[in-house]
Amino acid sequence: MPDGQLEIKVMTGVPISMRDGTILRADVYRPEAPGKYPVVLERTPYDRSERRGNHIVLPVELAKRGYAVVIQDVRGRHDSDGEFSPFHQEKTDGYDTLDWCTEQEWSNGKIGMFGGSYVGATQWLASLTKHPSLSCIVPSVTSDDYYEGWTYQGGVLALGFVGSWSMFALTLQNLQNLIRNNKTTKSDAQVLISAIDSIPTSLQNHAPAYMEHLKPDFAPYYFDWINHPENDAYWQSIRISDHHEEINTPALNIGGWFDIFISGTLRNFIGMTTKPSNMEVRKSQRLIIGPWSHTTIASVSSGSQYFGLNASHQGIDLLQEHMDWYDYWLKDGADLLSSPVRIFVMGENVWRNEQSWPLARTKYTEYFLHSSGNANTSTGDGELSKESAFDEMSDSYTFDPEDPVPTSGGGLCCYPSLLPGGPFDQSILERRQDVLCYTSSQLTEDLEITGHIELILFASSSALDTDFTAKLVDVCESEDCAIGLTDGIIRAKYRNGTDKPDNLVSGQVYEFRIDLGATSNLFKKGHRIRLEVSSSNFPRFEINTNTGTTPAFSKVKNTADQKIFHNTRYPSRLILPIIPR
């Protein structure tokens, strides 16, 4: 063994009893030498025994450096017993597992956690319990809210994610557990395989509530989610952001600009650096954001774009970041990141240290929408400029739910083979008549946009309810490419809040605020800034049927005539976070 590294011992299938007697199983990696060691815990729904990624690399490396590492299948998953109830089970099970780790003879009573996506959720939910042994966490590509920015966005079901996640990772990959507990049979496997292989068609053939390949017997949570389309008590009971002021756990947050959960990652950091009354807790938070999608963490490329070796472990060693974090909080060694925030600026393709998020020097700048009434397609007359709105014609298009605008990259998860996330060229989509394009003049100098982006849109519809989408695009100097950076959506009836549905009056103008998430991108000299506006982005989001009923249950589809207004009375505008250089 290299100097300073220890021989390790691995124990598999270790039973851990929860307070209700349910047995969850774990693997333990620890130094072979007797002694008491700090513990690092991962609680996962994705099969603890799968020998890839952090499931094997991090446990072995940490154990060699004097840590005991526990990798546990959560309740109802793989080798663990019980019924899987996503999110809702993780507070009490997390606390009980922390108790077990604390009580082991090889534990010194200090515990850290790690993992991404749902495994990040198990960390935040455990932190709500204030277990005295939980000393730090490293949640990656995860959220602060399992309604907004996870299952729904702007009140719209994130169907591409929820559908593919439920079919593949949550059901097909857990089939042996479901068969063992008489929830399904092997014959269901081929149905699921066929449905997954035919994405996105399988997500469009039926309303989400009636997809033949998902059944309440083996995926009850999916039906719970679509039966709670509004921000109600079901979701509020597990919302992390409601409790930021109570959490006392240091967190190293890791995310990606193209991750489906980027907004939640940033909200966790903002909440934990502004809400706790204990200033030391606020100072103990850290944030790393790279140019990655959900499945391309520490990769040189995402989507169709190559970001260079700086985006990989050559530019940032995330394994070492984990090690240093645990050494600091669990062993009183090493140093914290000198700067609390480290972001990757795309376009320039460099890492940069910052002292806060959002950046204190941000200049929020309004870019107004303009046209002569023909902003349809990228060759239309839509313009984007800092010149205030004046009296001008509205733009219009027809939204046909039978012919939705196809998704091209963006914040997608969790089946990248057929639903790849990240930045892709939007040029083909911009030829559609139902895609409005508002484009700036060529930039005379580099322009950095880093931070949160919002569109204030004034619009009307012929429908009782409909959706409006927005997308920020970086147009190349040659204008032969238009790279999507970030996007957003809003369901019209939730314009006043996702707990306050209010259908539209046909033809009446309303104000909609569309959250486009956040980015960090250097628009180069000669490039253009473009905003796309439409009413669909499928399969990333479910298709609104324009009927006023919940789309997940609607078998009827109507077209909707949409109008976008930009004048002195209705000044539609894009708010961009400009960073002075």
Active-site annotation holder among 80, 107, 117, 293: 117
Nearest to 36 by CA among 15, 67, 3: 67
Known catalytic membership, residue 117: yes
> In degrees, to the nearest 5, what angle opens at C-alpha 209 toward C-alphas 203 and 210?
75
Element spanning 225, H or E: helix 220-226
pLDDT of residue 186: 82
Active-site annotation holder among 55, 213, 244, 294: 294
pLDDT of residue 147: 98
Q: Which CATH number fits domain 363-579: 3.40.50.2000, 3.40.50.2300, 1.10.3470.10, 2.60.120.260?
A: 2.60.120.260
pLDDT of residue 334: 64
Q: Which residues contact 2 (CB under 8 A, 6 or more apart)?
A: none
Nearest to 227 by CA among 241, 218, 216, 213: 216
- Which pTM value belongs to this model? 0.96
Amino acid, res. 555 = K
Domains of the chain by residue range = 1-139, 152-234, 363-579
pLDDT of residue 435: 98
Query: Are 349 and 343 a contacting pair, CB within 8 Å?
Result: no
> In degrees, to the nearest 5, what angle opens at C-alpha 114 toward C-alphas 113 and 118?
110
pLDDT of residue 217: 87
pLDDT of residue 5: 86
pLDDT of residue 453: 98
Tokens 């992390």 found at:
240
What CA–CA distance (Å, rounded) separates 17 from 22?
Answer: 6
Known catalytic membership, residue 339: no
pLDDT of residue 6: 87
Question: What is 1-139's CATH number?
Answer: 3.40.50.1820
Known catalytic membership, residue 140: no
Instruction: Show pLDDT as tens, one digit a residue, over the chain (581 residues).
Output: 556 688 999 999 999 999 999 999 999 999 999 999 999 999 999 999 875 555 556 888 999 999 999 999 999 999 999 999 999 999 999 999 999 999 999 999 999 999 999 999 999 999 999 999 999 999 999 999 999 999 999 999 999 999 999 999 999 999 889 889 888 888 888 889 999 999 999 998 778 888 878 888 889 999 999 999 999 999 999 999 999 999 999 999 999 999 999 999 999 999 999 999 999 999 999 999 999 999 999 999 999 999 999 999 999 999 999 999 999 999 977 667 679 999 999 999 999 999 999 999 999 999 999 999 999 999 999 999 999 988 999 999 999 999 999 999 999 998 999 999 999 999 999 999 999 999 999 999 999 999 999 999 999 999 999 999 999 999 999 988 999 999 999 999 999 999 999 999 999 999 999 999 999 999 999 999 999 999 999 999 999 999 999 999 998 999 999 999 999 999 999 999 999 99
pLDDT of residue 213: 84
Other beta carbons within 10 angstroms of residue 509's beta carbon come to 15
Nearest to 142 by CA among 250, 275, 290, 255: 255
Active-site annotation holder among 27, 73, 96, 259: 259
What is the torsion angle, in degrees rounded to the nearest 10, for the CA atoms of residue 291, residue 293, residue 296 and residue 299?
Answer: -10
